[in-house]
Structure 1
Amino acid sequence: MAEEDLTRTRAGATGPASHRASGTPARHRSTLPVPARVRAALRWLARFRQRRRFVLEGFAAIACLAVLVSYLATEPDPPGEGGTRPDGLPAGIGRPSAFPGAELRPPATGPASPGLQPRQRPPSPTPSGSAIPGPPVRPTLTVEQRDVPAQVDLTASGSRDWIHWGLRGGDSTVRKRDGSGELVDAGGRGVRGGWDANQETVSWRDGAPVRSADGTATGVYTCGAGSGFTLAVAGAGEARTVRLYAGVWMARGRLEVRLGELSRTLRMEDPHTLRSAEFTVRFQAPKGTRVVLNWVAEEVFTGECGSVSLQALTLR
């Protein structure tokens, strides 16, 4: 018995010849029957592994779908009807490259404005560079009187406009060629007559219908108390200077200048002979208004046509 056991032990230690030749240790498979509880546990383990594989594959599919959706969100939207996208932009316009996935929004227009319909925008604010109306023009008016220079250059004195009276009789007037037209002869009371005995002379180089004159002493006059001339100057919103060249013959003349509620009055008289003056009117008047000048014989000192006379009016 002992020898038999020893022989089995040696055979187990060395193994069959085939195993020794290959170098692979011998494997013994049990021939005992597997209990039912063990088989059930093995089946449960196999099902658990299969479910875990399904769950992992599902998570992988969801992750791939999320990546695809994110990629599609960065692509240009498909064109809508009429070649435009649903958001109203032309087809083919994508989102800004610096902000992937960012929605295109209209420029900010300030605080929300209630009552607007869809796609309406509140009015744009006035650009900072636009012209803003200035404050209203405040009327100003001053009147001065001085002796007339021996020679008056209407072209220099009336850079904007001028009028001369009496060159060819009582109804004759010469105006500045291409003048502004701001000076107006509004008539007056009395019959006008022409004369050529003024103490001072005037000249011009830009007149119409007479182009030029060199030292004419002509003018117009009207006789009797209350007779005279009414002139006007249109307001332009800017400061202006008007010069009136006028005189009296054995009379007292009154110059009344009115701008709205503003008025100035000057008088000049000579009971024996003639006298002339240069009246300077400086004013600023809003557009649409006028400065009115009334040069009237307030009193005459002779029954032989005591009068007031008018020679020229200039504007600069």
Structure 2
Amino acid sequence: MADEDRTRTDSRAGDGPPDAPATHRLRAVTAGQTRSALRRIARSRRRRRWAVEGLAVLVCLVALVSYFGTRSGSEPGDDQARVPGIPAGAARPSGPPGAEGRTGDAGPALPGLRPRQRTPSPEPTPSASSPAVPPPASTAPTLSLSRGEVPAEVDLTAAGTRDWMHWGLHGTSTVRKRSGSGEIVDGGGSGARVGWDGNQEVFSWRDGTSERSVRGTSTGVYTCGARNGFTLEVAGSGELRTVQLYVGTWMARGRLDARLSTGGSTSTLRLEDPYTSQSAQVTVRFLVPKGARLLLSWTVEKAFTRHCGNVGLQAVAVR
């Protein structure tokens, strides 16, 4: 009975053969437990190794991303990064001049900028000992004509500050400016002159000779027939002069030709009324050297009546 109970006990106690001693079965159990623990330890070590390796990979990835992110701001060989005062990574201007805005307006010009974008140098300050000389005025001969309405009353003293002349106060007589420059010359003309009193405008002066002062005279002279008229000359002085010429027509077309004695083209102006009278103030501006002259010819180009279609002359003033 005792042997049977021991046999059952031994069969429950271990995995060895039934006839194995108890000590041997205990050692087997201990060895199996040791192998299980070792396997657990190995698995734990593998997990730690994987964790360390994963962390190392992550650190490497972060380092690479940081490295490439830093290098993306500037390309290798970019000379601009070596210019003093220019922030690292600043890009050069691109496109045509002006497309980059006002990059070249401040500081030194960056490499690659065109010369026209550089800040201009300040103008040198003129020396006090050598003042700038103004450019000489133009002395080229000049001539122009324009036409306007005659004022109701013409003040020859104010209009002719240098010289003036009036015709017809007494018949065909003339009155000149007292102490005038004498620049106006009556060159005569073709056809008989006739004095008359009936102009629509009147003339006054306060510095005349032989009549010192006259107020509101409507007198003048005229000449009839085609190709008849008046010629006048005004002396030049090398400066721009303005001539005011007061003329009229009656049932005729009058033609005014102006030219310079120095040569050049002739300027022409016409005044026409086939049925009645008409008057005009002609402004002549001219410039010729001293000794040269303005030449004026005022003639009947066409008469619209057989009864003395004519041109008239009242006054001329120079300033």
- TM interval, shorter chain, is 0.5 to 0.7
SS in 1 for 2:266: strand
Percentage of matched positions with identical amino acids: 62
Q: Can you list the C-alpha shifts for 1:128-162, whole angstroms capped at 9, x where unaligned? A: 9xxxxx68820011100011111100000000000
Does the Cα contact within 8 Å between 1:227 and 1:297 map onto a contact in 2? yes
Partner of 1:194: 195
- Work out whether 1:266 is the aligned partner of 2:266: no
Partner of 1:257: 258
Partner of 2:91: none
Partner of 1:168: 170
Does the Cα contact within 8 Å between 1:190 and 1:228 map onto a contact in 2? yes
CA distance in 1, matches of 2:286, 2:230: 20
Matching residue within 271, 280, 291 for 1:277: 280
Does the Cα contact within 8 Å between 1:187 and 1:229 map onto a contact in 2? yes
CA distance in 2, matches of 1:262, 1:179: 30
- Work out whether 1:144 is the aligned partner of 2:146: yes
SS in 2 for 1:169: coil
SS in 2 for 1:149: coil
Aligned length: 186
Q: Can you list the C-alpha shifts for 1:200-245, whole angstroms capped at 9, x where unaligned? A: 0000000001001100000000000000000010110001000000
Give the letter aligned to residue 186 of structure 1.
Answer: G
Q: Structure 2-normalised TM-score?
A: 0.56
Matching residue within 282, 287, 290 for 1:287: 290
Does the Cα contact within 8 Å between 1:143 and 1:280 map onto a contact in 2? yes
Q: Which runs of 5+ in 2 are unaligned?
A: 1-129, 131-135
Does the Cα contact within 8 Å between 1:250 and 1:302 map onto a contact in 2? yes
Give the letter aligned to residue 209 of structure 2.
Answer: A
Does the Cα contact within 8 Å between 1:254 and 1:297 map onto a contact in 2? yes
CA distance in 2, matches of 1:237, 1:210: 31
Q: Can you list the C-alpha shifts for 1:48-69, whole angstroms capped at 9, x where unaligned? A: xxxxxxxxxxxxxxxxxxxxxx
SS in 1 for 2:158: helix
Partner of 1:214: 215
Give the letter aligned to residue 302 of structure 2.
Answer: E
Partner of 1:228: 229
* 1:262 Cα offset (Å): 3.3
CA distance in 1, matches of 2:244, 2:316: 6
CA distance in 2, matches of 1:168, 1:275: 22
SS in 2 for 1:198: coil
CA distance in 1, matches of 2:196, 2:291: 35
CA distance in 2, matches of 1:185, 1:137: 26
Q: Structure 1-normalised TM-score?
A: 0.57
* 1:279 Cα offset (Å): 0.2
Deviates more, 1:257-266 or 1:208-217: 257-266
Does the Cα contact within 8 Å between 1:237 and 1:285 map onto a contact in 2? yes
Partner of 1:157: 159
Does the Cα contact within 8 Å between 1:141 and 1:262 map onto a contact in 2? no
* 1:288 Cα offset (Å): 1.3
Q: Which runs of 5+ in 1 are unaligned?
A: 1-127, 129-133
1:1-316 to 2 correspondence within 5 Å?
A: 137-170=139-172, 172-259=173-260, 260-316=263-319
Deviates more, 1:243-252 or 1:262-271: 262-271
Partner of 2:84: none
CA distance in 2, matches of 1:220, 1:200: 14
Give the letter aligned to residue 168 of structure 1.
Answer: H
What RMSD, in angstroms, separates the aligned Cα atoms of the two structures? Answer: 1.9
* 1:265 Cα offset (Å): 0.4
Give the letter aligned to residue 214 of structure 2.
Answer: A
